[in-house]
Amino acid sequence: MIEPAIQQKINSWLSGNYDEATKTEINGLLERNEHESLSDAFYKDLEFGTGGLRGIMGAGSNRMNRYTLGMATQGLCNYLKQNFPGERVKVAIAHDSRNNSPEFARIAADIFSANDIEVYLFQALRPTPQLSFAIRHLGCQSGVVVTASHNPKEYNGYKVYWNDGAQVTAPHDKNIIAEVNKITSIDEVKFEPKPNNIHLLGPEMDEAYITKVLGLSVSHEAIRRQHDLKIVYTPLHGTGITLVPEVLQRFGFSNVTIVDEQAEPNGNFPTVVYPNPEEKEAMTLALNKAIEIDADLVMATDPDSDRVGIAVRNLKGEFVLLNGNQTGALLINYLLQAWQKAGKLTGKEFIVKTIVTTDLIIDIAESYGVKHYETLTGFKYIAEKIREVEGKEVYIGGGEESYGYMIGDFVRDKDGISACALIAEMAAVAKDNGQSLFEMMVDMYEKYNFYKEELVSFTKKGQRGAEEIQQMMADMRANPPQTIAGSKVVEISDFKLSARRNLVSGEISQLGLESSNVLQYMTEDGSKISARPSGTEPKIKFYISVNEPLASTVDYDSVEQKLNAKIEQILVDLKLK
């Protein structure tokens, strides 16, 4: 049985000014009595989460389609005109390789143009970081990119950016939604374009962006000596193919092998289950190619190329995937070493990481006397921190555990293109020193501690799933653990209350961050466990971080086993397995 409020919404779509294909899809679900699917499609409106608008494509208010995108775009148009009165507002638009992405980008362009907003539309698919760059480069007040990042093929989405090239944060995100909610009918959306307001972006924008990426290189001589470093790269059927090979070649790498089966952009992602470089399965073809040609480094970007996953040879010569914490810590360590060597550390520099990203990055920054900041999950918060201290402090780099990194601040979002270039450069420097990238990482662990992280996710779909996730968080708040894996819980941070409670002293301190539904437990032995419902997927995620000293390389296996056992016990104690 469909709830009356949901049925009323369905009826409004069937009687409203929606196209016949949409009405046919809804009627088909009604005829087949697919009440659960209909309820999920209409029980709420798509909302801006940490990644903007994102949902399964199809008919319905909780689906990604021309109407939900249209209302979001019209709401954004109205908000931009309020915020920039008397100005000629400009926006940039890009899209990825997903099904319907070009059409959605064009619909957005049409609506902006109809509202007398100047539109700069990439004429073909391009990476998300290039959209972020274009906003500032062109002096735009806003921008959008049509993408659902690494989600399954059924999804698409729409990220909204502000004039600094960063995704919208409070109060803009809530205010845009408020404007969207004021639109009571799709008849208020101006779908009819004014073509003179739309300008296409081509190779000149590629060149402007690539020039900035080239400026990040800090080890030209090492690349020159190791130019034939064997690199395997896959764009996983996404936008990375447009820029990554070119950037690597321009950096000086002459031996890059592309995974042919995944080189062609394709929204069905035919060779993978999920186009996500975090998934081992998505890396299978690239790893096979790496073994075949005896490669040094494997890299994969997700469909919109804002994230990158890598594989390197371990101490036994076998290829292993590094997680986002490992790669992020390696990059920060490499950059700070290079800046120190070049005499560029003046005391004004800083790095940023998110609250669920490894604290190894903090240890590294402190050893170089470099300031560190922590933000909520999502690169929009990292960009917000850069904006806060711009002109007073100098941003070096930052990242989050979900394979997102940002080096330099000409892009204000995670950037898989520049990350690929710097990871390759880092591997060249390691090889120039007679090391693998993995050995460089072990050296880092010896200096700072061997950190190991684990991410456990539970998917809870639909309306019922959302309620289950909320209940799990409520239970953890009501009954926090006293010990985890034999170690006393000494601190609880509740980011919803923006408060940290020291259980030893009883002291309560403010976190100084925007409210967010995240819980974090710290134990006496330095373990950290975070619980966080995803802002973009029907998931609740648990982030586990443990660490131990590593005296030397020969102890690597035994210390890793100890850390694995600790993680296993944490999972058991928190009933996560």
Q: Can 149 be counted among the known catalytic residues? A: yes
* Burial (Cβ within 10 Å: 0-12, 13-18, ≥19) of residue 310: buried
User: 266 by DSSP, 3-state: which?
Assistant: coil
DSSP conformational letter for 55: E
How far is the C-alpha of 566 from the C-alpha of 564, rounded, in Å? 5
Please report where in the chains the tokens 């088909």 appear, as a residue: 28
Residues in the chain: 577
Rg (C-alpha) for the chain, rounded Å, is 24
Closest CA to 301 of 254, 355, 265, 354: 265
The answer to whether the CB of 407 falls within 8 A of the CB of 341 is no
The answer to whether the CB of 234 falls within 8 A of the CB of 259 is yes
Check the CA dihedral 167-168-170-176 and report its sign. Answer: negative
Candidates 149, 402, 436, 487; catalytic one: 149
Q: For residue 466, how many C-alpha atoms fall within 13 Å in the half-sphere facing its CB?
A: 8
The answer to whether the CB of 108 falls within 8 A of the CB of 146 is yes
How far is the C-alpha of 4 from the C-alpha of 10, rounded, in Å? 10
| Geometric angle at alpha carbon 363, from 359 and 367, rounded to 5° | 165
Contacts of 21 (CB under 8 A, 6+ apart): none
Q: What does the block give as tokens for 424?
A: 């390759």
How far is the C-alpha of 350 from the C-alpha of 398, rounded, in Å? 9
How far is the C-alpha of 545 from the C-alpha of 405, rounded, in Å? 19
Contacts of 37 (CB under 8 A, 6+ apart): 29
User: 472 by DSSP, 3-state: which?
Assistant: helix
The answer to whether the CB of 74 falls within 8 A of the CB of 115 is yes
The answer to whether the CB of 76 falls within 8 A of the CB of 143 is no
* Helices and strands per DSSP (H, E), number in the chain: 18, 23
How far is the C-alpha of 512 from the C-alpha of 418, rounded, in Å? 31
How far is the C-alpha of 284 from the C-alpha of 235, rounded, in Å? 13
How far is the C-alpha of 492 from the C-alpha of 514, rounded, in Å? 17
> Active-site residue numbers?
149
